[in-house]
Amino acid sequence: MAIPAERTQVIRIGASATRYESWCERCLDQAEPQSIGVQWLRVEGDLPLAADGGLVSCRRGHRIAVRRSGRLTSAA
Ligand SMILES: [Zn+2]
């Protein structure tokens, strides 16, 4: 199965978390991630508790969605 080139990356954070950190999968997929330094793959930031999601870019410009999990906008 081919992975779509523009598949959106998603970082999921907990319902009460305000900070996230992850890796850019796109950068990891590049031929030699070691050559750019592992710290460059790192993506981190803040998401206010009031926000359910956001958008972040890795240092090389890949877009990554941030989604807050474990919180329902409409409880049953
Ligand atoms: Zn990247």
- What is the residue-level pLDDT of the chain in tens, covering all 76 positions? 555 556 789 999 999 999 999 999 888 887 675 666 777 788 999 999 999 999 999 988 999 999 998 766 554 4
Q: Which two tokens stand for residue 67?
A: 């989604």
CA of 74 to the centre of ligand 1 (A): 33
CA of 58 to the centre of ligand 1 (A): 5
> What is this structure's pTM?
0.73
| Residue in the block written with tokens 């850019």 | 24
Task: Give the DSSP H or E segment for 38.
Answer: none
pLDDT of residue 39: 75
Residue 48, CB-side half-sphere exposure with 13 Å CA sphere: 2
CA of 27 to the centre of ligand 1 (A): 4
Give the residue extent of every domain in the chain.
9-68
